[in-house]
């Protein structure tokens, strides 16, 4: 049976935070959003980026690997659950371990909190609230075949952070030519481009007609 | 923009404050209860009218669930998700209020009153005023964010209950210029296509619309089109979320769109891309347009509009070579002293390419308000009777008089447009007004004048469910109902009539709006004309009243709406399925042909000059709806955008010594306001942008120009001359890593320079040669099928 998962395409994100508003409506954590939407750099662009739990698989999620009390459980279909509330000791190991910055510590409740792919909904065949609400399908829920059939871009589940590599259950949508998301390489590229622009080699934008 | 959560301060980073985003005012008490039932309904906000389910627990509205409706497919924007939180909101008005102690030098206070007291006072005053000053001394200012039933009732109440000619509505401020343009060009005013047609197109030209923030759910269909390979061209002074990923962005100077659109048409003609068989077979007036656009070379467009000539040519070719192309236009084009012409320029492009009347192509106006389409059809417009009938045409008057059971002589003639009412109030011709579903103090331009006009009324009666900035000035406030406390229909921006269902009862002593109106009518002695026991009875009368009109709702029953997932008007018979696509074979003009109208670029009423070097434009944020009276009270939404800001380009900011987050003062010839600066390259260096959803000293309509389009009196919100200056303020604590603040620059030199004034409301050329409300000779009826 095809695996249904989330596809995250930041190029479509309009920063409306419908995902955040919708996430807060879930009965299991009403009032708290496990999705985060951030401006990439408002000083240069209106671009925004949603962050959801990527549900890493390699071999188990880094957050689960480091949990001293094995509170972070992973379902047979690969969904990494929020730390089991009866076990979580609020040690924050998962917060430090996650390469995507997803788990958050609720200081008041002394519990780790994160997205569990709306397990109450998705295990019954519904969509998670964030993808259900998303007006642009920047967050989109379905299986890989459906994605390839309906959408442009390349769904990638391989992310590289320098020496650390993770495979994830949730896919990022990248331009066709990229087979993996190499964060360090992209950062270097951006720094280079910025340096060139500063030196006047490559004008970053066309001149305004005023 | 919204609150930037981009930077985390040490100590906060790993202790994410889950509650910081704002809790609904009533808390989350029902969080762990299971829903007992789901009520299918639609969102109360924008013109998309997304389907949604409201969750009911123990008879209370406690949440929302996705509903797979044809045009939103279960998606909701953030406004839609939290819309339900208005129902049990603590700010709701729960009893009538009357202003007491008003006298010379004192405004008095709004105090609790009973319904009998409030309504009898209002009716007593109205009887006195009408006896002394004539029936037109009382006006009704209505709105379109409510059901067709209520909109219809407001028109009937003004004309039958009060017998006044002065009834108009806030759609005047919205898309009235597009409505007139479509009526002139096509003979009928409605979007030509359902949104679900958008993916069929090959090229999308978006003119003056930030769809991503204003109609987020319409982006579903835009992206489906783009996934199918469609190109996207965006005409906007700002690089909005819509424009950011577009194939081509035309950064137009505010108020100069027509120059670009005409230049594109010229280029299409020169490239031989016009559809001559279509022009010959289905349209009238092409030669005049061909001649009119000839002077608009790409270089001329670059000179007028500031869009590089190559981009104009590229846009013309992308658009002109697409087999199916669709133009989407909205307020950026329409809020202008030449708004009608702007829309006609779009229509000319689409007609020249032979696009109108085919699936997935043509033009589509994006009507803004929830029921913006329905509200302008059912007879609450100054010159209009239900079913798009015209108040000047004798047969139309006779038909409606018969439906209403009154002698036709009693039916008033045309009244003042909403924007003209303010002048009549200030001049003392309108002595009292009933305002419903409108917040004039936020929505009308130059609101200092509006405030004086409203304060000159005695009594000003406001019906609302939250204490709006306008209700604060009222003498009598009548507490009404939010959308899901009533039932009825709305007509969304596609022309699809959908059904709003009842999910709750109004709180406290608040009542349903139509019940209040019927009660007022009874007390005015006109109760025999308002015998309704339910919203459905109003709907059935509305169907009858629209029968045979342009917007024929006769065949639309509530059952049919449920069965079909909405019904598109015109739907003249009960066995008629409705009309999703218009003009497949003929246009609505008597000869079946569309009209070309040559349009020329005209400068906006006020242009930069002297001390006012910028063009100020205003617009929306995704988190707020219209005047913000609803959305500013919903924690999640307000938390994202709690106050307005001004967007300014880094080049301009550097010249003025303005840094990001600085407090600045924006001035126009009408006033000044203080806001925070957002320095960003996503706006033209000669333009400023401020969102308009805020009240009091945060209202950008303190600054905007009250000049209106001579035809439809839509105000020019989208451009006026302005300047901006940095305020000396104590340096705020800086977030880490933002560097040291340079010393403040010397203040700007002040001169006596005034902006260039092209024309104002007072000296605007009048297209109608008659004074307000006078009827016209038959010769002037041309093109007035609307």
Query: Which pTM was predicted?
Result: 0.91
Q: Can you state the angle between helices B298-305 and B309-321, rounded to 10 degrees?
A: 120
Considering the domain architecture, whether residues B258 and B294 belong to the same structural domain is answered as yes
Do residue B306 and residue A39 have CB atoms under 8 angstroms apart? Answer: no
Q: Is residue B766 in some structural domain? A: no
Considering the domain architecture, whether residues B201 and B266 belong to the same structural domain is answered as yes
> Out of B15, B32, B217, whose CB is closest to A135?
B217
Considering the domain architecture, whether residues B132 and B189 belong to the same structural domain is answered as no
ipTM: 0.92
Q: Is residue B571 in some structural domain? A: no
Residues 498-527 of B with CB under 8 A from A: none
> Out of A22, A45, A108, whose CB is closest to B244?
A45
CATH number, domain of B735, equals 2.40.40.20
Assess contact for B98 and A44: CB atoms under 8 A: no
Considering the domain architecture, whether residues B165 and B283 belong to the same structural domain is answered as no
Q: Which domain holds residue B640?
A: 607-755
Tens-place pLDDT, residues B542-556: 999 999 999 999 999
pLDDT value, residue B27: 54
Q: Is residue B506 in some structural domain? A: no
pLDDT at A164 over 60: yes
Q: Is residue B318 in some structural domain? A: yes
Whether B66 contacts chain A with CB within 8 A: yes
CATH number, domain of B208, equals 3.40.228.10
Q: Is residue B22 in some structural domain? A: no
Contacts of A127 in chain B (CB under 8 A): 66, 74
Whole-number Å distance between alpha carbons of B389 and A45 = 47
Confidence of residue A62 (pLDDT cuts 50, 70, 90): very high
Whole-number Å distance between alpha carbons of B628 and B427 = 29
Q: Is residue B243 in some structural domain? A: yes
Contacts of B16 in chain A (CB under 8 A): 104-106
Assess contact for B90 and B505: CB atoms under 8 A: no
Considering the domain architecture, whether residues B153 and B259 belong to the same structural domain is answered as no
- b/e per residue B238-271 (b: at least 16 CB within 10 A): bbbbbbbbbebbbbbbbbbbbbbbbbbbbbbbee
Assess contact for B327 and B363: CB atoms under 8 A: yes
Q: Looking at the 3D structure of chain B, how many domains does it have?
A: 4
Among B780, B784, B781, B755, residue whose Cα is nearest residue B769: B780
Boundaries of every domain in chain A = 4-59+118-199
**Blockwise average pLDDT, block size 10, chain B, 786 residues:** 39 41 51 71 95 90 92 94 93 96 86 97 97 96 96 97 95 91 92 94 96 95 95 96 94 96 97 96 96 97 95 96 96 94 96 95 94 93 92 93 96 92 93 96 94 94 96 96 96 96 95 97 96 96 94 95 94 94 92 95 92 94 94 92 94 92 94 94 94 95 92 92 85 46 42 61 44 39 38
Whether A21 contacts chain B with CB within 8 A: yes
Whole-number Å distance between alpha carbons of B473 and B455 = 7
Whole-number Å distance between alpha carbons of A133 and A135 = 6
Instruction: Name the 3-class secondary structure at A203.
Output: coil
Structure tokens at B654: 């550097």
Give the whole-number percent of chain B exceeding pLDDT 90. 83
Whole-number Å distance between alpha carbons of B768 and B752 = 36
Confidence of residue A205 (pLDDT cuts 50, 70, 90): low
Q: Is residue B714 in some structural domain? A: yes
Tens-place pLDDT, residues B251-297: 999 999 999 999 999 999 999 999 999 999 999 999 999 999 999 99
Q: Residue B290 belongs to what H/E stretch? A: helix B286-293
- CATH architecture, domain defined by A4-59+118-199: 2-Layer Sandwich (3.30)
Whether A152 contacts chain B with CB within 8 A: yes
Q: How far is A101 from chain B (nearest CA, A)?
A: 9
Tens-place pLDDT, residues B581-621: 999 999 999 999 999 999 999 999 999 988 899 999 999 99
pLDDT at A147 over 90: yes
Residues 297-326 of B with CB under 8 A from A: 302, 306-308
Do residue A17 and residue B19 have CB atoms under 8 angstroms apart? Answer: no
Give the A:B interface size as CB pairs under 8 Å: 156
Q: Is residue B764 in some structural domain? A: no
pLDDT value, residue B773: 37
H-type alpha helices, A136-182: 144-150
Tens-place pLDDT, residues B716-754: 999 999 999 999 865 555 444 444 444 444 444 444 566
Among A86, A87, A90, A96, residue whose Cα is nearest residue A66: A96
């Amino acid at each position: 049976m095809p695996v249904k998962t989330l596809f995250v395409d930041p190029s479509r994100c309009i920063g409306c935070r419908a995902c955040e508003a919708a996430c807060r409506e879930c009965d299991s954590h009403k009032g708290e959003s496990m999705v985060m939407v951030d401006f990439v750099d408002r000083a240069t662009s209106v671009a925004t980026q949603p962050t959801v739990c990527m549900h890493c698989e390699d071999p188990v999620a880094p957050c689960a690997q480091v949990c001293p009390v094995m509170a972070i459980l992973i379902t047979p279909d690969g969904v990494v659950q929020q730390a089991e509330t009866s076990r979580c000791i609020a040690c924050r190991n998962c917060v430090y371990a996650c390469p995507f910055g997803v788990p958050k510590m609720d200081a008041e409740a002394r519990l780790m909190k994160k997205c569990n792919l709306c397990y109450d909904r998705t295990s019954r065949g519904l969509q998670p609230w964030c993808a259900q609400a998303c007006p642009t399908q920047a967050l989109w829920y379905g299986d890989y075949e459906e994605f390839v059939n309906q959408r442009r871009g390349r769904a990638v589940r391989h992310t590289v952070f320098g020496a650390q590599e993770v495979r994830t259950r949730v896919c990022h949508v990248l331009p066709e030519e990229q087979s993996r998301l190499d964060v360090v390489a992209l950062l270097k590229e951006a720094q280079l481009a910025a340096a060139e622009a500063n030196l006047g080699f490559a004008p970053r934008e066309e001149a305004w007609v005023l | 923009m919204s609150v930037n959560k981009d930077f985390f301060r040490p100590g906060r980073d790993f202790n994410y404050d889950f509650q910081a985003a704002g809790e609904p005012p009533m808390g989350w008490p029902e969080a762990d209860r299971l829903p007992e039932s789901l009520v299918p309904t639609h969102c109360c906000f924008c013109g998309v009218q997304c389907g949604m389910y409201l969750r009911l627990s123990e008879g209370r509205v406690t949440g929302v669930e996705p509903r797979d409706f044809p045009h939103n497919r279960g998606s909701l924007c953030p406004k839609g998700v939290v819309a339900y939180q208005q129902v049990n909101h603590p700010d709701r008005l729960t009893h009538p209020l009357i202003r007491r102690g008003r006298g010379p030098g004192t405004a008095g206070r709004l105090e609790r009153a009973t319904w009998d007291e409030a309504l009898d006072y209002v009716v007593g005053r109205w009887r006195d005023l009408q006896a002394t000053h004539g029936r037109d001394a009382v006006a009704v200012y209505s709105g379109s964010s409510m059901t067709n039933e209520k909109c219809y009732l407001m028109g009937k109440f003004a004309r039958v209950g009060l017998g006044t000619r002065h009834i108009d509505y806030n759609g005047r401020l919205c898309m009235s210029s597009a409505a007139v343009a479509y009526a002139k060009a096509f003979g009928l005013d409605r979007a030509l296509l359902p949104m679900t047609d958008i993916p069929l197109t090959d090229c999308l030209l978006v003119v003056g619309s930030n769809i991503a923030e204003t109609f987020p759910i319409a982006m579903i269909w835009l992206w489906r089109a783009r996934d199918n390979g469609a190109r996207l061209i965006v005409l906007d002074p700002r690089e909005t979320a819509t424009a950011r990923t577009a194939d081509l962005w035309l950064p137009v100077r505010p108020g100069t769109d027509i120059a670009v659109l005409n230049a594109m048409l010229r280029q299409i003609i020169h490239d031989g891309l016009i559809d001559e068989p279509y022009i010959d077979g289905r349209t009238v007036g092409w030669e005049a347009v061909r001649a009119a656009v000839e002077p608009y070379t790409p270089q001329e467009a670059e000179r007028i509009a500031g869009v590089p000539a190559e981009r104009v040519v590229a846009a013309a070719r992308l658009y002109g070579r697409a087999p199916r192309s669709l133009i989407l236009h909205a307020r950026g084009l329409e809020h202008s002293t030449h708004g009608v012409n702007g829309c006609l320029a779009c229509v000319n492009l689409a007609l020249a390419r032979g696009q109108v009347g085919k699936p997935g192509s043509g033009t589509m106006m994006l009507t803004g308000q929830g029921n913006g389409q329905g509200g302008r059809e059912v007879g609450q417009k100054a010159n209009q009777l239900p079913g798009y009938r015209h108040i000047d045409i004798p047969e139309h008057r006779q038909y409606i008089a018969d439906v209403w059971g009154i002698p036709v002589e009693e039916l008033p003639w045309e009244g003042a447009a909403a924007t003209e009412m303010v002048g009549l109030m200030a001049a003392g011709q309108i002595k009292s007004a009933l305002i419903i579903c409108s917040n004039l103090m936020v929505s009308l331009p130059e609101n200092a004048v509006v405030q004086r006009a409203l304060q000159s009324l005695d009594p000003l009666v406001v019906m609302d469910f939250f204490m709006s900035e306008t209700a604060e000035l009222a003498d009598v406030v009548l507490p009404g109902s939010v959308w899901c406390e009533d039932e009825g229909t709305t007509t969304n921006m596609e022309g699809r009539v959908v059904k709003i269902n009842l999910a709750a009862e109004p709180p406290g002593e608040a009542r349903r709006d139509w019940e209040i109106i019927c009660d007022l009518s009874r007390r005015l002695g006109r109760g025999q004309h308002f015998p309704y026991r339910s919203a459905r009875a109003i709907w059935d009368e509305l169907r009858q009243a629209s029968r045979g009109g342009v917007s024929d709702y006769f065949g639309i029953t509530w059952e049919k709406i449920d069965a079909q997932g909405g019904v598109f008007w015109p739907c003249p018979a009960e066995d008629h399925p409705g009309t999703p696509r218009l003009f497949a074979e003929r246009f609505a003009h008597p000869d079946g042909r569309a009209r070309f109208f040559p349009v020329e670029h005209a400068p906006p009423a006020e242009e930069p000059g002297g001390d006012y070097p910028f063009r100020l434009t205003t617009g929306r944020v995704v988190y707020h709806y219209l005047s913000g009276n609803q959305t500013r009270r919903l924690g999640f939404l307000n938390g994202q955008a709690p106050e307005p800001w001004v967007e300014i380009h880094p080049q301009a900011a550097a010249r003025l010594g303005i840094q990001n987050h600085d407090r600045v003062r924006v001035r126009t010839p009408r006033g000044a306001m203080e806001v925070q600066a957002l320095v960003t390259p996503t706006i033209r260096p000669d333009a400023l942008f401020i969102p308009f959803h805020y009240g009091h000293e945060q209202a950008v309509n303190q600054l905007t120009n009250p000049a209106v389009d001579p035809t439809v009196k839509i105000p020019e919100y989208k451009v006026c001359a302005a300047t901006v200056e940095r305020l000396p303020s104590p340096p705020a604590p800086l977030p880490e890593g933002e560097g040291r603040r340079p010393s403040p620059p010397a203040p700007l030199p002040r001169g006596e320079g005034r902006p260039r004034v092209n024309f104002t409301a007072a000296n605007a050329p009048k297209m109608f040669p008659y004074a307000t409300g006078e009827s016209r000779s038959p010769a002037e009826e041309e093109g007035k099928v609307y």
